Structure 1
Amino acid sequence: MPLPVIHITAVQEDAWQTLRAFTNARIALGSAGTAIPVKEVLQFRMAHANARDAVFSILEVDRLSADLQRLRLPFLVVHSQAADRTIYLQRPDLGRRLNPRSAERLLEHQHDYDVVIIVADGLSATAINNNALPVLINLVGDLQQNHYVIAPIVIAREARVALGDEIASLLRARLSIMLIGERPGLSAPASMGAYLTYDPVAGLNDERRNCISNIHAKGLQPNLAAQKIYYLCKEALRLKISGVQLKDEATGISGSDNFQLPKTT
């Protein structure tokens, strides 16, 4: 019996192939006959798998705690009312409220703070594991150098953005800054966002927040993100507003990278 004849179809590149050098978006994939090239199909499946893994990734609390101790920064660990990852994904409302034990712990640290920084897993703990520390190093340095009163940094598990409102309200902080893992995309499974809210209380709408998104190695670099966050923080506290009323009018952002981890002995 003769062997079947296999016809190999050459991949045809798209005319705008050169644009791929400027974006991670899935453009100019080319074609193989009437289909997408096998290479692109496999890369899509890999990207989809990475995004799913990011959703179920675990916040490295021990490593983050050790880093904060090296920075000599006080911190607290809290948990939302979502007991585990499955419940967190099924019940977004529970991720927006603290469990009772965490709320009691925060009440013990009440003070008149200018700023509280919250580090939350969100929908991609990988994003926090990769990007939170360099943002914290630069941001905390700028806040300290300008004499803002900073609350203990709060590490929040199974957290949604709105959980920052309750945390800040219980601590009596005028402004909350939440660093949180964003919903993974097929080209950015480890992207972190930063949300700023002035005068936060539970139940606020998103129009009261400023958001800086796409913070990761191939997006907005962490040190530049810290500069933008600091600018909006300073303006929010000066003008007593945030959200749609507060505009990013910064020009020539170039901040300090002077704040360094202390050397261990």
Structure 2
Amino acid sequence: MPSLEKWKQFTQARIGLNRSGGSISTKEMLKFRLDHARAKDAVLLEPNWELIHESMNQLSTKYGIKNIFVKSKITSKQEYLLRPDLGRRLLDGSELDLIPKDEGFDLSIVCIDGLSAKAIDENLISYLELLFSEIQKTKLTLSPLVIAKWGRVALGDEIAEKLHAKICLVIIGERPGLSASDSLGIYLTYKPKIGNTDESRNCISNVRPKGLPIPLAVKKTIYLIHEVLAEKKSGVLLKDQMPNESLSPSQEKLIPEN
């Protein structure tokens, strides 16, 4: 069997920790506290909204897509953590009500800060840039891009329903763990509407450079969008049959042998 040191290169999980008697080593304890602090920061801090808006405007200009900023009914970060129900509903008087909806759209993309400011700051724009470049190769019709503050995943249902979109694609900062505080979660829902629950969604999780790489996440997203439109269903009703391409040939060679 390979040593634990060889396996450590394939995971950020805490395996094979050094110990001194019945306790883990000082080095491992300090690393644990640092990761815990990073996880707390990811939840409690706000994304760099000024930079996000600037980047979104650049994307909108490049791809000819309008972007809209909205808020949930939440009024503070503390309330966001205590009242997830309010994070699922839009603040009254949204600009979304002014968008023409005569023809509707195939896809509504909603970007939500969620529970990780770090994920939004570091990975959102990279994901969107590649996603839009791939969508341009298709015949999909897009609603305006929506950026939402203090929202939960279900906020996307109300937004996409207002925009008369067939599919809601939510990109959100995932709840951080002690080994990953920068993960994006991608959720797809067919026929989005207020009251939808999680079994109606397909999820792509752990999207980050050291998790599911952004190019593979975008490829999975495009695949699921086409499957949802073809099958007219999502969530537990839709079987994901995309071939497993999570490992490149170069990565496969690194897996230690027994």
Asked whether the two chains share a fold, i.e. TM above 0.5, the reply is yes
Instruction: Give 1:115's aligned amino acid.
Output: L
Measured in 2, the distance between the counterparts of 1:246 and 1:220 equals 21
Partners of 1:108 and 1:75 lie apart in 2 by 13
Distance in 2, Cα, partners of 1:55 & 1:235: 33
Does residue 109 in structure 1 map to residue 99 in structure 2? Answer: yes
The correspondence for 2:171, drawn from 169, 179, 196, is: 179
Question: Contact 1:209 / 1:244 at 8 angstroms: preserved in 2?
Answer: yes
Asked if 1:241 is matched to 2:229, the reply is no
- The two structures, once aligned, show a CA RMSD in angstroms of 1.5
Aligned residue identity for 1:106: L
Distance in 1 of aligned mates of 2:134 and 2:162:
24
Residue 169 of structure 1 deviates from its aligned partner by 0.3
1:1-265 equivalences under 5 Å are 16-71=4-59, 72=61, 73-102=65-94, 105-111=95-101, 112-251=104-243
Unaligned regions of 5+ residues in structure 1, if any? Answer: 1-14, 255-265
Number of matched pairs: 238
The one-letter code matched in structure 2 to 1:36 is I
Aligned structure 1 segments of 4 or more residues deviating by more than 6 angstroms: none
- Counterpart CA distance in 2 for 1:133 and 1:162 is 21
SS at match of 1:177: strand
3-state SS of paired residue (1:117): strand
Distance (Å, rounded) in 2 between the aligned partners of 1:216 and 1:232: 19
| Aligned sequence identity (%) | 44
Tell me which moved more, 217-226 or 47-56.
217-226
What is the SS of the residue equivalent to 1:194?
A: strand
Cα displacement (A) at 1:253:
5.7
Secondary structure of 2:241's partner? coil
Aligned-partner SS, 1:132:
helix
Secondary structure of 1:51's partner? helix
Q: Classify the secondary structure of the residue corresponding to 1:232.
A: helix
- The letter of the residue matching 2:137 is Q
Is 1:110–1:170's contact at 8 Å kept on the other side of the alignment? no
Verify the 8 A CA contact 1:138 1:226 in the aligned structure 2.
yes
Residue pair 1:232, 1:248 contacting (<8 A) in 2 also: yes
Q: SS in structure 1 opposite 2:185?
A: strand
What secondary structure is seen at the aligned counterpart in 2 of 1:100?
Answer: coil
| Maintained 8 Å contact 1:134/1:222 | yes
Could you list the runs of 5+ residues in structure 2 that have no partner in the other structure? 247-258
Cα offsets for 1:22-58 (capped at 9, x unmatched):
2100111021122110000000000000000000121
**Partner amino acid, structure 1, of 2:85:** D
Q: Please report how far the alpha carbon of residue 91 of structure 1 lies from its aligned counterpart in structure 2 after TM superposition.
A: 0.5
Superposition TM-score, scaled by structure 1 size: 0.86
Residue 249 of structure 2 is matched in structure 1 by: none
Task: Work out which of the two has the higher radius of gyration on C-alpha atoms and give 1 or 2.
Answer: 1
> Structure 1 residue 17: deviation in Å?
3.7
Structure 2 Cα separation of the partners of residues 181 and 236 of structure 1: 23
SS of match in other structure, 1:147 = coil
User: TM-score normalized by structure 2?
Assistant: 0.88
SS in 1 for 2:93: helix
